[in-house]
Amino acid sequence: MSRAESLYRLQLLDLELDRARRRLHEIETLLAGNPALDHTRNEAAQADRALRLASSELKSLELESQALDEKIATEEQRLYAGQIRNPKEMLDLQQELDSLKRRRGALDDQMLALMEQVEQLRADHLRCRQALAQAERNFAEDSVHLRAECEKLQAAMEGELEQREALCRSIPAQDIALYSAIRAKKPNGVAVALIKAGACSQCGEVASSQLVQQAHTGVALAICSNCGRILYAR
């Protein structure tokens, strides 16, 4: 196995490990929190608050209405029981009763509108709770699959790391150092580029015949004159 081929095989393992690490990070993020589930939870919480507020307001109106009914009944009893003989006092009481009844009628309109609102809010609340329950079930099911994938990835990585360690023992330390330095500088982590149609597969630079020959023989490492990657010809 040539020096470049050894580094190319090392790179295949490293790129696979890179993909596995990225996927593990994605899985950890997904398991830590699900945006769709969080959104559904927020909607359910808002629906719950809206229903509680409207129900509380309706209860207050009902209590006020009950108090008005009691007051109206008391005042009518006074008016019609013959207890009041003063005409002015009777007129004042009648006017007060009329005002109380107008207020009572206005309360009926408010309560009717609010009862309709509460019914709609109950429907919204139920819909949100059902959506949340479904979202939680989906997240739980997804979590099972994600954890299984995580375990599979970790097991595969253990095997790849063992292969990498064994391969590194057969590669000169200076070659690994050069490979690692180039790989660290490249955004895609590719330090070894294949020669395809006489050119570097990463940057497209046409390699000289000497470099192509060097990449084929593998006696010395051939370096792309443009991107600085190690060239490998299969």
The predicted-structure confidence for 89-121, as pLDDT tens digits, reads as follows 888 888 999 999 999 999 999 999 999 999 999
Q: Mean pLDDT over residues 135-143, rounded?
A: 94
What is the rounded average pLDDT for all residues in the chain? 93
Q: Which of 194, 151, 160 is nearest to 16 (CA)?
A: 160
Tokens found for residue 88 = 């002015």
Q: How far apart are the first and last CA of the chain?
A: 11
**Strand pairing partners for 194?**
232
Note the pLDDT of residue 186. 96
pLDDT score of 82 more than 90: no
Note the pLDDT of residue 89. 84
Q: What does the alpha-carbon distance between residue 23 and residue 42 come to, in Å, rounded to a whole number?
A: 28
Q: What does the alpha-carbon distance between residue 169 and residue 176 come to, in Å, rounded to a whole number?
A: 10
Report the range of poorest mean pLDDT among 2-11, 41-50, 168-177, 208-217: 208-217
Tokens found for residue 91 = 């007129």
Note the pLDDT of residue 80. 82
Full-model pTM: 0.69
Domain boundaries, given as residue ranges, for the chain: 3-10+172-232, 33-168
Percent of all residues in the chain with a pLDDT value above 70, rounded to a whole number: 100
Give the CA dihedral 109, 113, 118, 121, nearest 10 degrees: -170
33-168 carries CATH number 1.25.40? no
Kindly indicate the confidence band of residue 81, based on its pLDDT and cuts at 50, 70 and 90: confident
Q: What does the alpha-carbon distance between residue 109 and residue 103 come to, in Å, rounded to a whole number?
A: 10
